[in-house]
Amino acid sequence: MKHYIIYDGQCNLCVNAVRFLENIDQGKLFNYVPMQDEKTLTQWGITPQQCQQGMILINHDFSQIWQGSNAIEEIGKLLPTNTFVDVYRALPGMKWLGDKFYEQIRDNRYTLFGKCDTYQSIYCVDGSCNIL
């Protein structure tokens, strides 16, 4: 069962993270939807305002949604790196620090990492890539 990752398709950091996950996963666990894919997100009831709060991970049946640093942690748990996430969560103060670090990156991503043309993953939802 695949999970859906909603990412900023115009953020260089986000795009490189998706490309990294694509190389590791090869489309087995995740489908990727850029937040610029308004058609798909509207069908799912996800607003642009929600997307601005950070990366979103949705499980295969849409019964669970994670956002921001929680989404990154959950992605890490689904990959072979799951032990790292458990250690990270067990260290006192790391979750709080990670959340704050994520917020700073999210709010300054274009300034820090630049903006690019919208990236559409080859592992898009059901093979239908709906960029503008």
Query: What is the per-residue burial (b if ≥16 Cβ within 10 Å, else e) of 57-74?
Result: bbeeeeeebbbbbbbbbb
Query: Which H helix or E strand runs over 36?
Result: none
- Position 132 scores a pLDDT of 46
Please name the residue that has the structure tokens 């274009």. Answer: 110
pLDDT single digits (tens) 47-78: 999 999 999 999 999 999 999 999 999 999 99
> Per the structure, how many domains does the chain have?
1
Report how far apart the first and last C-alpha atoms of the chain are (Å, whole number): 27
The total number of residues written for the chain in this structure:
132
Q: Is residue 63 part of a domain?
A: yes
What is the span of the domain harbouring residue 121? 3-127
Between strands 65-67 and 56-58, the pairing is antiparallel
Contact assessment for residue 7 and residue 75, using Cβ atoms and an 8 Å cutoff: no
Cα separation, 87 vs 126, in Å, equals 35
Cα separation, 65 vs 59, in Å, equals 7
Higher pLDDT, 127 or 77: 77
Residue of 1, 8, 24 lying closest to 115 (CA atoms): 8
- Position 82 scores a pLDDT of 76
- Position 130 scores a pLDDT of 59
Q: Is residue 94 part of a domain?
A: yes
Q: Is residue 69 part of a domain?
A: yes
pLDDT single digits (tens) 27-53: 999 999 999 999 999 999 999 999 999
Q: Is residue 132 part of a domain?
A: no
Q: Is residue 87 part of a domain?
A: yes
